[in-house]
Amino acid sequence: MTTPHSLAFVVDDEPAMLDIVTFALETQGFTTESFRSAETAWTALERSRPDLVVLDIMLPGISGISLCQRIKSRWDLPVILVTAKGEVSDRIAGLEAEADDYVAKPFHPRELALRAQRLVRRPESSRAVVTSGVRLELDPASHDVIVAAERVSLTNTEYKLLAALMAHPNSPLDFSQLLLMCWGEYDRHGDREMIKAAVYRMRHKLEAAVTGSSAAIESVRGTGYLLRADRT
């Protein structure tokens, strides 16, 4: 279940959609606050931080994509984007803005609620591996990875993917396995791009911390990824 009193900000200019999303989240134990524009949501974010933001892409004034970018530049908050059915360009833009997940309209409220629940659920223990002599250690309290004593901040999606790879060192994980382990489901349209974008960003963060550490995550052509760890 969600952490008690997990707070979700819901941003949508359509009253009916606000009602659907807030009801779905509240049935899974969230408390919610609703906003009709990106501007009012941003004002609230500067006062307090929720555990999750559910954000429609099409908003009056500042777009949902722009708000997502602004949120991710300031805080490590999970963001779910709500997109129009079939709008692949919107989903790609959302992934580039570092959104953690997305749902396409029309969606089942239960699906949205379960996705939200998984995003705020935190791992209970740390994990460490050594790759090419460099130690990687997860910090579940902060969602950071410690790379040879250098602390690197990860988004929620990046953290879950790295945790999955570190749990199975030297074993290739295909896209369906990663989706199942991180989000509890199998392949759906656009999710491979979400994983690829997250791994791309994660590699750059690791490389910036310690040269060569990004090589720990290897692409398995046409399949998925593996984390190359030293044998003990």
DSSP 109-155: HHHHHHHHHHHH---SS--EEEETTEEEEEETTTTEEEETTEEEE--
Position 76 confidence tier, pLDDT thresholds 50, 70, 90: confident
Position 1 confidence tier, pLDDT thresholds 50, 70, 90: very low
Number of other residues whose CB lies within 10 A of the CB of residue 212: 12
**Cβ contacts of 122 within 8 Å, gap of 6 or more:** 3, 140, 141, 143
Mean pLDDT, all residues of the chain: 84
Q: Which amino acid is at 180?
A: L
The whole-number average pLDDT for the span 46-50 is 89
CA distance 203 to 92: 19
DSSP string, 59-76: -SSS-HHHHHHHHHHH--
Number of other residues whose CB lies within 10 A of the CB of residue 77: 19
Position 144 confidence tier, pLDDT thresholds 50, 70, 90: confident
SS3 of 104, please?
strand
User: Strand pairing partners for 226?
Assistant: 218
Residue 108 reports pLDDT greater than 50: yes
Q: Using alpha carbons only, what angle is made at residue 76 by residues 52 and 142, rounded to the nearest 5 degrees?
A: 105
CB 185 within 8 A of CB 144: no
How confident is the model over 213-226, as pLDDT tens digits? 777 899 998 789 99
Position 32 confidence tier, pLDDT thresholds 50, 70, 90: very high
Q: Higher confidence at residue 184 or residue 67? A: 67
